[in-house]
Amino acid sequence: MSGVALIMHPECLAHETGEWHPEKPERLQAIWDALQAASLPPNVSWLTPAPATVPRILRVHQPRLIDEIRTMAARGGGMIGLDTVVSRRSFDAALIAAGGTIQAVETAWDTPDRRTFALVRPPGHHATPDTAMGFCLFNNVAVATRVLLEEKGARRVAIVDFDVHHGNGTQDAFIDDPRVLFCSLHQFPLYPGTGRAEEIGEGSARGLTVNLPLPPGCGDVAYRAAFDRVVEPVLRRFQPEIIVASAGFDAHWADPLAHMRLSTSGFVELARSLDRLATELCGGRLALSLEGGYDLGALASSVVAVIMALAGETPQDLLGPPPGGALENVDPLLDHVRGLHGL
Ligand SMILES: [Zn+2]
């Protein structure tokens, strides 16, 4: 049985966003507390990341953005846009979040029998090469993917983003990069407003951006169908050497920021799918990095359940199925996306 490496660092708690803000340190604290309370099997191990170096952040981001965040933090903090907070230690926390995701992909790359999960914040997938937005400062998954491509010799990386919001920043970073398949499942319409099915990539990467703009209300059955009919076939066609997941848990039915109806068991099924695909296509190389998830109970129990499943255990679903059920049939959308991508 393969193992799971969890990557955590207390500096991620030092990114202080204020009591009112949904992306708060208590999110990670809830995950850590739930992991302490769980009986994790012996094949789950822990790693402590180093901060990402600025040259590595520069593999995705403009120098101006790095300077803006560093300067704002050094002055005691401020806001970028209406929703993205920089506190005194946010620059350091953001470097650790990116460094943790780099460690996750490097560990998965070097030891394919270990799945990895970077339990970090601030999240990353909304941050574009030149703009911090949507609670995200640096794009952790994009930076880590560039490290794989430019330092580890990777030629084909698949990114699967199941956060309920569209990963616009990751899409922007790789929109014309034929080495990266970017596949996003998200509620549409919803923040940030991008991620239409017709956004399919540009130039030599045309067809390598795969967007599944799902209607509100989708539950486990709809997500299962999206994986079966779109995610799995596009990954098989692309033949990645590693799968990197932007693992957001805000599609849970209890989440306050969106309107999807996934259960904890649904997240476990998604993780098992990615695990099977990693085994089938890339020798077991699978790295996850935490994105959103704003109901503390649903977030913590879903993260623990996913880790248990990746470790080969049978997880519990403490919150159960969505009260009132969920939208199950999204075949017209899936047919449309399959048509756009020649599936
Ligand atoms: Zn999100």
Q: Measured between alpha carbons, how far apart are the two ends of the chain, in Å? A: 33
pLDDT at 308: 98
Q: How far, in Å, CA of 339 to CA of 333, rounded?
A: 10
Q: How far, in Å, CA of 144 to CA of 12, rounded?
A: 17
Q: Considering its fold, how many domains does the chain have in total?
A: 1
Closest among 169, 49, 163 to 117, alpha carbons compared? 49
Give residues whose Cβ lies within 5 Å of ion ligand 1.
163, 165, 248, 250, 292
**pLDDT band for position 192 (cuts 50, 70, 90):** very high
Whole-number Å distance, alpha carbon 153 to ligand 1 midpoint, is 30
Tell me the residue range of the domain where 139 lies: 3-340
Across all residues in the chain, what is the average pLDDT? 97
Query: Cα 83 from chain centroid?
Result: 19
Whole-number Å distance, alpha carbon 293 to ligand 1 midpoint, is 7
Average pLDDT over residues 207-234: 98
pLDDT at 2: 78
Which residues are annotated as catalytic?
126
Angle of CA points 227, 136, 189, to nearest 5°: 50
Closest among 24, 242, 223, 15 to 116, alpha carbons compared? 242
Which residues, 6+ apart, have CB-to-CB distance to 329 below 8 Å? Answer: 222
pLDDT at 150: 98
Whole-number Å distance, alpha carbon 250 to ligand 1 midpoint, is 6
Closest among 123, 333, 134, 131 to 215, alpha carbons compared? 333
**pLDDT band for position 105 (cuts 50, 70, 90):** very high
pTM: 0.98
Whole-number Å distance, alpha carbon 162 to ligand 1 midpoint, is 9
Using the predicted structure, report yes or no on whether residue 1 has a pLDDT greater than 60: no
Whole-number Å distance, alpha carbon 164 to ligand 1 midpoint, is 5
Cβ–Cβ under 8 Å, residues 183 and 160: yes
* H or E element at residue 242: strand 242-247
**pLDDT band for position 5 (cuts 50, 70, 90):** very high
For residue 3, give both structure tokens.
């193992």
Whole-number Å distance, alpha carbon 252 to ligand 1 midpoint, is 11
Find the CATH number of the domain harbouring 40. Answer: 3.40.800.20
Query: Residues 244-296: pLDDT tens digits?
Result: 999 999 999 999 999 999 999 999 999 999 999 999 999 999 999 999 999 99
Residue type, 170: T
Q: With pLDDT > 70 as the criterion, what percentage of the chain qualifies?
A: 100
Query: Residues 147-180: pLDDT tens digits?
Result: 999 999 999 999 999 999 999 999 999 999 999 9
Taken in order 141, 83, 267, 230, the sign of the CA dihedral is negative
Whole-number Å distance, alpha carbon 42 to ligand 1 midpoint, is 31
**pLDDT band for position 107 (cuts 50, 70, 90):** very high
